[in-house]
Chains A and B, each alone.
Chain A
Amino acid sequence: DGGITQSPKYLFRKEGQNVTLSCEQNLNHDAMYWYRQDPGQGLRLIYYSQIVNDFQKGDIAEGYSVSREKKESFPLTVTSAQKNPTAFYLCASSTTGGGRSNQPQHFGDGTRLSIL
């Protein structure tokens, strides 16, 4: 079945530590996204990528980094500079339709990150 796989489901970070969240998709989608979800705040965009080797900052990129070396993969690193990393992180993908896509985004089942 086609879909988006996020791993791990739960992750714990120590002070001063960088952690990387995995996101893999087999939907052959060009665009991929990372969101942060906090209670009562909805989804906030961290980074997105339209194509391999290209990505753009979203609304809350500080303290995070990404790479897009393969079409299928879009890992997110939460760095030690992110002082409040406890949240539910969601990865999504979509077709781009020439840059004016009206297609929905497909989501993975998320990674819950907590501080030790």
Chain B
Amino acid sequence: AQSVAQPEDQVNVAEGNPLTVKCTYSVSGNPYLFWYVQYPNRGLQFLLKYITGDNLVKGSYGFEAEFNKSQTSFHLKKPSALVSDSALYFCAVRDEANSGYSTLTFGKGTMLLVSP
């Protein structure tokens, strides 16, 4: 079975400071990992994905994520936070070992609040 955990319900950071939103996962094979962002009353927007290759993945809006296989983590990072980054962030995983077609499993989300 595949699962994903976002241990923080909320992350608070001051504008201009670096931010990290944490995600850990569990799969039996190799993971496909995704980060999405959701603004109020909107759908999810894709930020970035890890499939294979470099452990540091760069995505949209200056976000990046670091894949760590030994710690089964895929933390989202940004060097300098903006107030406009305030939103709900979701991590999702798919187990590459699943035969045939399988769906994504989403974490419960982390609310990021960036203060001016």
Contacts and interface: CB of A to CB of B under 8 A. Distances in A.
B101 A50 contact: yes
B108 A90 contact: no
Interface in B50-104: 51, 90, 94, 96, 100-101, 103-104
A70 interface: no
B103 A58 contact: yes
Contacts of B94: 102
B46 A104 contact: yes
Q: In this complex, which of A42, A109, A110 has the most chain B Cβ atoms within 10 angstroms of its Cβ? A: A42
* A interface bracket (residues with beta carbon within 8 Å of B): 20 to 34
A4 B44 CA distance: 12
Interface string A12-23: 000000000000
B91 to A, nearest CB: 10
Contacts of B96: 100, 102
Nearest to B45: A107
A84 interface: no
Contacts of B101: 31, 50, 96, 99-101
Given A42-B90, A102-B32, A102-B51, A108 B43 contact: yes
Q: In this complex, which of A33, A105, A108, A112 has the most chain B Cβ atoms within 10 angstroms of its Cβ? A: A105
B49 A45 contact: no
B34 A104 contact: yes
A48 interface: yes
Interface in A40-88: 40-43, 45, 48, 50, 58
Q: In this complex, which of B34, B44, B100 has the most chain A Cβ atoms within 10 angstroms of its Cβ? A: B44
Contact of A43 (B41, B51, B106): B106
B60 to A, nearest CB: 11
Contacts of A6: 43
Contact of A42 (B43, B100, B106): B106
A71 to B, nearest CB: 16
A29 interface: no
